Amino acid sequence: MYSSSNVDMASTIHSFKVDGMMLRYSLFVPKLYNFCKSLGFEAGKIMPSRAFCSDESQGYPIILIAKHFGTFPFNHGRVGGIVSTDRHGPHAHHGKDLVIINASHVGFDPSNNTFGIYRRLQTENHENTPTCGKISHVIEWYLQEYNFACENIFLEKKNNRYLITIDNQILNKDKKEGLFLNIERMVELDRNGKPCPEEVHSISRSYIASSELKDLFGKSAWNDSEPVSIGKMLKPELFSFRRHIEGDVEGKSHLEINLLNVMPWIVTSPAPLLTAAQVNTQVEFDRTFRTIIKEPSYRNKKILYIAGIHIDISPAVGQIFPLTKFLPWAAYIQQEDGSHMILEQKELMQRLNEQSTENLDQINLEDAIHIMEDATEVKIPFPL
């Protein structure tokens, strides 16, 4: 699949609020359970399902779901927080009332307030590694392309002319993959509406900067004495990416397909992995909601589908699990008669905050394990 479109995603990304929208997971899950009961879900008949990444940091949320819902959650997810919509049918057959919790995740290191890093306690020296690793791997190529452009596009003021010098590799329109500039916005065009170089060099070309670019950067960005690299002034509206991706829905490249058109905003973000997790959650909610309403097995069922982000705070000394926080995005609610509604982020957070954190139906996992250990052994006969 090829894509070179540069859609205006800024408003979509900024609509996902972070400040004041997080809940500690130990508070989120009992609130979610009580929210389900307020919708008429029947205690002991609710089958939760999780669509999380396979990362070990996601184990703590799963334990809390099991504790408060009284059953181990069904597995609805793929690496990176992709929802396996082909599992809707089996999920529907495992419970009377149904819950799906979908979350991409991103690490957070409180020692330096950095997103995208997580301390792995099981490594030899408690190494900090990128998380989500899948998201990090997907965006790595795009970050390299962006950084190359930042370092190989130069601004120079020469003889009162405001010039922009661009490496030929970046200018190559015939390349199959890479970063492509919206050059018509960046340089003055000739009478035919085409960019025409002012100077041609061995590995680059210089153009007269457009009025739009001078207004965007400010004329002070051009140095009188020597060329300066454009650096992080290369904003997302000035470029797009093209990448060959195999179109495999819910497969190996699904996450990358979700993020491709938004990559300019991801690579220019101060926290690329957080922005990528946010965008993936937004795309997956929109896609999964539409598959739920079309799924025959979900008809005449109570359903709550909630999507958000897991913020995995690296464990401190003496801690086994992360201090995970849930950052909700949206929820879909369906009743048995087919009536349904969407809760947007602000209303969803309000509804969750209205719920008690006391769950009288929660189970004691240790007691449940001891009961199993003390139970009379069941002999399993094998056919001869």
Q: What percentage of the chain reaches a pLDDT higher than 90?
A: 79
Q: Are residues 276 and 221 in the same domain?
A: no
Q: Work out the pLDDT band at 264, boundaries 50, 70, 90.
A: very high
Query: What is the mean pLDDT of the segment spanning 180-195?
Result: 94
- Which residue intervals of the chain are DSSP H helices? 10-14, 25-38, 59-69, 88-92, 133-152, 168-171, 211-217, 254-259, 263-267, 272-294, 345-353, 365-374
Q: Is 383 inside any structural domain?
A: no
Query: Judging by beta carbons within 10 Å of its beta carbon (0-12, 13-18, 19+), is residue 130 exposed, middle or buried?
Result: middle
Q: How far apart are CA 150 and CA 267, in angstroms?
A: 11
Q: Is 5 inside any structural domain?
A: no
Q: Does residue 7 surpass a pLDDT of 50?
A: no
Q: Does residue 4 surpass a pLDDT of 50?
A: no
CB 132, CB 53: distance < 8 Å: yes
Q: Are residues 50 and 86 in the same domain?
A: yes
Q: Are residues 127 and 146 in the same domain?
A: no
Q: Is 329 inside any structural domain?
A: yes
Q: What predicted TM-score, i.e. pTM, was given to this entire model?
A: 0.91
Q: How far apart are CA 31 and CA 38, in angstroms?
A: 10
Q: Are residues 17 and 117 in the same domain?
A: yes
Q: Are residues 161 and 236 in the same domain?
A: yes
Q: Is 299 inside any structural domain?
A: yes
The string of pLDDT tens digits covering residues 303-328 is: 999 999 999 998 887 888 989 999 99
Sequence-distant (≥ 6) Cβ neighbours of residue 243 within 8 angstroms: 2, 3, 141, 142, 177, 256, 260
Q: Is 370 inside any structural domain?
A: no
Q: Are residues 113 and 152 in the same domain?
A: no
CB 314, CB 109: distance < 8 Å: yes
The string of pLDDT tens digits covering residues 20-51 is: 999 999 999 999 999 999 999 999 999 999 99
Q: Are residues 97 and 75 in the same domain?
A: yes
Instruction: Report the pLDDT value the prediction gives residue 125, as an integer from 0 to 100.
Output: 85
- What range defines the domain where residue 184 resides? 141-242
CB 84, CB 51: distance < 8 Å: yes
Q: Is 16 inside any structural domain?
A: yes
- Size (the chain), residues: 384
Q: Is 325 inside any structural domain?
A: yes
Q: Are residues 122 and 149 in the same domain?
A: no
Least-confidence region, from 104-108, 203-207, 299-303, 372-376: 372-376
Q: Does residue 150 surpass a pLDDT of 90?
A: yes
Q: Are residues 188 and 110 in the same domain?
A: no
Q: Are residues 87 and 170 in the same domain?
A: no
Q: Is 384 inside any structural domain?
A: no
Residues pairing with 306 in the sheet: 101, 331
Q: Work out the pLDDT band at 8, boundaries 50, 70, 90.
A: low
Least-confidence region, from 4-8, 21-25, 229-233: 4-8
Q: Are residues 111 and 181 in the same domain?
A: no
Q: Are residues 109 and 256 in the same domain?
A: yes
| Number of domains the chain is built from | 2
CA triple 9-12-17, angle to 5 deg? 135
Query: What is the mean pLDDT of the segment spanning 59-71?
Result: 97
Q: Does residue 5 surpass a pLDDT of 60?
A: no
